[in-house]
Amino acid sequence: MAVKRTRESEEMYLETILLLHRTKANVRAVDVCEELGYVKSSVSRGVNLLKKKGYITIDAATGDIEFTGAGREKAEGVYERHKVLTAALCKIGAGKELAEENACRIEHVVSDEMMSVFKKFADNEE
């Protein structure tokens, strides 16, 4: 169970950093704290784990967080899963807010094979 939680946490941080970068030129750990509503110590630990895994770099002088190539690719993949799941859930009748909330949880545990099914369904115009 710890592996699943670690992956979910990692992916949530990556997705949050990605979305923050779309609205802010410089993203720091404090921005992640504010966005997720987490305490600074938790975000500091999470961000440092992402750095150790080679997904992000942190500017020592400014604290600015930037993606490495691998980090951006992973973050974009998580966000793509989120968008596809949200679209599929809306298509079966969920309201936008309900779909977003559930997609945020499902995106971390759904298999690649099942994601393909969701994508096919969401892209189908019927």
State pLDDT tens for residues 12-48: 999 999 999 999 999 999 999 999 999 999 999 999 9
Domain boundaries, the chain: 2-68, 73-123
Fold of 73-123: Diphtheria Toxin Repressor; domain 2 (1.10.60)
pLDDT tens-digit readout, 39-94: 999 999 999 999 999 999 999 999 999 999 999 999 999 999 999 999 999 999 99
pTM, whole model, 2 decimals?
A: 0.86
Is the Cβ–Cβ distance between 118 and 106 less than 8 Å? Answer: no
What does the pLDDT average to over 95-109? 92
Confidence (pLDDT) at 126: 55
Q: Which residues contact 108 (CB under 8 A, 6 or more apart)?
A: 4, 7, 8, 11, 12, 78
Class of domain 2-68: mainly alpha
DSSP-based three-state secondary structure for 65: strand
Confidence (pLDDT) at 24: 93
